[in-house]
Structure 1
């Protein structure tokens, strides 16, 4: 029994201003759409003319983008990298166990404001109990984190409600946020509590979210308000039309929803945290690297790094890797031997317990939707090796004059060598031209 009854009129038109009323007055920002086809139809007519659907939906949802940004400022670290302001997507710095304020955020809509005292979860469908198209965000390797999770088992909750009827093969999870796809609006839905010992943050799904271990984050529905047992996979747009994997020969010219497959378990992946891409590093023959590695179907067993783009691979010693856990990443560090100077390509690959590894090049993993292109991560690094006599001499000279060699693209403010040094070196090299 819902603690607060739904509004009698789910959609009202007040002059030229639409009003998509909240399903429950005390659930701020939650507008139920799946139960009201007329509401979805009216919203689609508006969205066909106006791209910014939250503003287009009238006073109920108009302020959701500003409210969502408020929670970014309140609950996330000041050094978060803001990938997309709304729906908010952000990535953080890396640690072994990611704190709540540093965990990445991947939202498809705004953040609803639901008072836990007025919250309830609906279990429905085949159970025995009662009960716009998002802009592609340039994540790089940022959309991952590892946290300690505790909470009630959904399996036990369904059992407490009476269990599943025959045919209940899939569990459809609905979130209270609004999702837009091709001028249609939906409640976020897919099929398949506390966080780090602290109350679950609103930006991460409070008062209730699902955590589906090993699967892509899209399956761990935030602001969960309904669990629906069904016979087949959900036909909601997130499940049916998003997070799909195509072969490299499928594209705009021939892609359909049915000639792909739905991404479920996370593939093996890894990324270089330090050094940074395009970094210019002064070193003594070793460059310190830190990396994370993950496998949704098991655990990372071995990590290898290369300093020449993938011809020679070094295994990271086991004692330089963090502990093994199910459904968690491993972070590690390694001092990579580097002799060469100039621009080098560093790469990393991971092997899991089933001997799965990453494709060597992104071209072999590229696909139309650009999902899980988890090939070997590659970065460019400019090597400045202090063990080389000429380099050591130049660095010493620059230090004595209070000058920096970085960035390497800036010209030097001094002559490269004196006239006397030039003449001595040219004599050793037999000048520029051979003698007649």
Structure 2
């Protein structure tokens, strides 16, 4: 079996050359963008073109440019609007796909095809942030790459791309560059209709907020979905997990049955996206990222083999290795065959009380495809981005993962840092998450019935690092006065191994003189077992990626007597 590391190196050498691979990557047409005048966006031209071409460069582009597909996911246009882009244009010369394929170097010019159009994008090669991996799209169609990355769902992109139009694709070749390509998102799993998508390709969605407070354990079908790439279709019967200790050069391959032979370990753990509640932070100032509400979080029971047991059989034990990190690679890959990747500190991985598991069950059932079937790593108390799904490879190393999501994303910055000044090397990767809470019911703008001078409020609270929620404070007057909640519901685990969330319920009094139609502002803040609490507002914790959004949750409601 060819290891993914070897495959990655082969792909890297291939892409760095002049071979054309654009026409060989499997994909279909991408939904494109709203038409407008390219001349209106001259100042953004270098960025937009880099974005257009960068998707073809896969993860390397993201590493250099730090801009996610999710940022523009809401800017798609309809099929009729997209027909204007790449359409046949009279008066232009005609080129065959064979002619396009000959233009794959700077000397020969870099050409690409899109629908009926042929484009010369040579001028942007030298300054392209993704480096020479842009050559993946050279001499072929950009559509395979555009089908993977929603970053192209920006109303400016196709306008700018059209400025590089040099000709029409020969009628006989139109569609042939992608006719044998399936949609990389064409085999996605079926999702529950209750999930509210924030993007569809890749699919990211959260459940209705009130549902979270209904059950301490979040049902699999209603657990939020966070995908970065297409969901791989993995056959459990042929599944293999590669393990590699870079320090000893020990290697091992485990099947699903091999993993199941280890003692089965079950934990209750909350997994939360670092961008949960980002939509509230954007009210201070815009950020780049999916506009998550308060439900990009869920609590489940997970069962599988302890990572420390598996690594022990590889010869990696606490106190007996100089490794500093354990890297994880998923089976979800980009066009350059680069997998989703992340890493955690070796101390967390080898701690028998750290409860890191190679999970194959979620809430007593095989893990659903959206959540990592057949095996994902569950790193309790740690940001969701490190809980790698569809686990394909584990690497014990002195180094952190070099994946984009470890190096150039999921990091926090001061409020004054913007995209012109950000240096991702200056901030550590997020691991344990801070204390957070949210009101699940009532919702913003609801009319709430007042009974005996009080209104009922319920929600969740959680803290990373195994810290237990010890108190939840709720206010009905915007934070001027507070009271502790009446009921806290959680599993029986204790600090520092309290991986699951706490659901809370209380009744708070409304001010004297309030009447039907009066508006009040509900606020909630949680306190964990180390007496950490939440910041009062988002202005002080704003950051350009909108992560770690854990300020007081505020909900405006109207009263009904």
TM-score (norm 1): 0.74
1:169 aligns with 2:324: yes
1:17 aligns with 2:184: no
* Secondary structure at 1:172 match in 2: strand
For residues 367 and 3 of structure 1, do their structure 2 counterparts lie closer, same or farther at Cα, with a shift above 3 Å needed? closer
Match for 1:296 among 450, 464, 478? 464
Match for 1:152 among 280, 305, 320? 305
What is the deviation of 1:78? 2.4
Report the equivalent of 2:268. none
For residues 156 and 240 of structure 1, do their structure 2 counterparts lie closer, same or farther at Cα, with a shift above 3 Å needed? same
* Secondary structure at 1:117 match in 2: helix
What is the deviation of 1:260? 2.5
Any stretches of 5+ residues in structure 1 without a counterpart?
22-31, 387-436
What is the deviation of 1:283? 2.0
Give the Cα separation in 1 of the matches to 2:483 and 2:472: 8
Aligned residues: CA RMSD: 3.5
TM-score (norm 2): 0.58
Q: Counterparts in 2 of 1:334-345, with a 5 A limit? A: 334-339=506-511, 340-341=514-515, 342-345=518-521
1:219 aligns with 2:386: yes
Give the Cα separation in 2 of the matches to 1:120 and 1:61: 26
Report the equivalent of 2:558. 382
Give the Cα separation in 1 of the matches to 2:539 and 2:386: 27
1:259-286 CA-to-partner distances (Å, cap 9, x unmatched) read 3332110110000000001112232321
Match for 2:206 among 51, 71, 91? 91
Give the Cα separation in 2 of the matches to 1:15 and 1:129: 34
For residues 337 and 227 of structure 1, do their structure 2 counterparts lie closer, same or farther at Cα, with a shift above 3 Å needed? same
Contact 1:245/1:369, CA 8 A, preserved across alignment: yes
Contact 1:293/1:350, CA 8 A, preserved across alignment: yes
* Secondary structure at 2:373 match in 1: coil
1:164-210 CA-to-partner distances (Å, cap 9, x unmatched) read 68432111100011258xxx773101110211110111111111110
1:126 aligns with 2:247: yes
1:82 aligns with 2:197: yes
1:66 aligns with 2:186: yes
For residues 306 and 327 of structure 1, do their structure 2 counterparts lie closer, same or farther at Cα, with a shift above 3 Å needed? same
* Secondary structure at 2:500 match in 1: coil
Match for 2:475 among 261, 286, 306? 306
1:52 aligns with 2:146: yes
What is the deviation of 1:162? 2.4
Contact 1:268/1:357, CA 8 A, preserved across alignment: yes
Report the equivalent of 1:109. 229
For residues 60 and 231 of structure 1, do their structure 2 counterparts lie closer, same or farther at Cα, with a shift above 3 Å needed? farther
Report the equivalent of 1:43. 136
Contact 1:324/1:330, CA 8 A, preserved across alignment: no
Give the Cα separation in 2 of the matches to 1:59 and 1:178: 22
Contact 2:21/2:136, CA 8 A, preserved across alignment: no
Give the Cα separation in 2 of the matches to 1:196 and 1:346: 33
Contact 1:91/1:104, CA 8 A, preserved across alignment: yes
For residues 187 and 139 of structure 1, do their structure 2 counterparts lie closer, same or farther at Cα, with a shift above 3 Å needed? same
What is the deviation of 1:54? 2.8
1:14-58 CA-to-partner distances (Å, cap 9, x unmatched) read 89622369xxxxxxxxxx999xxx995643658996662538996
Give the Cα separation in 2 of the matches to 1:18 and 1:354: 54
* Secondary structure at 1:158 match in 2: helix
Contact 2:491/2:500, CA 8 A, preserved across alignment: no
Give the Cα separation in 1 of the matches to 2:59 and 2:416: 36
For residues 58 and 146 of structure 1, do their structure 2 counterparts lie closer, same or farther at Cα, with a shift above 3 Å needed? farther
Q: Counterparts in 2 of 1:357-372, with a 5 A limit? A: 357-372=533-548
Any stretches of 5+ residues in structure 2 without a counterpart?
28-57, 61-130, 153-176, 253-286, 345-359
* Secondary structure at 1:147 match in 2: strand
1:100 aligns with 2:220: yes
Give the Cα separation in 2 of the matches to 1:33 and 1:232: 19
Report the equivalent of 1:273. 440
Match for 1:143 among 274, 296, 315? 296
Give the Cα separation in 2 of the matches to 1:48 and 1:141: 39
Contact 2:147/2:183, CA 8 A, preserved across alignment: no
Greater C-alpha radius of gyration:
1
Q: How many residues align?
A: 361
1:347 aligns with 2:523: yes
What is the deviation of 1:324? 4.7
For residues 300 and 115 of structure 1, do their structure 2 counterparts lie closer, same or farther at Cα, with a shift above 3 Å needed? same
More helix by share: 2
1:377-403 CA-to-partner distances (Å, cap 9, x unmatched) read 01111123x2xxxxxxxxxxxxxxxxx
For residues 242 and 60 of structure 1, do their structure 2 counterparts lie closer, same or farther at Cα, with a shift above 3 Å needed? farther
Contact 2:478/2:522, CA 8 A, preserved across alignment: yes
What is the deviation of 1:213? 0.6
For residues 20 and 40 of structure 1, do their structure 2 counterparts lie closer, same or farther at Cα, with a shift above 3 Å needed? farther
Deviates more, 1:241-250 or 1:12-21: 12-21
Deviates more, 1:49-58 or 1:365-374: 49-58
Contact 2:59/2:334, CA 8 A, preserved across alignment: no
What is the deviation of 1:140? 1.8
For residues 60 and 243 of structure 1, do their structure 2 counterparts lie closer, same or farther at Cα, with a shift above 3 Å needed? farther
Give the Cα separation in 2 of the matches to 1:196 and 1:60: 39
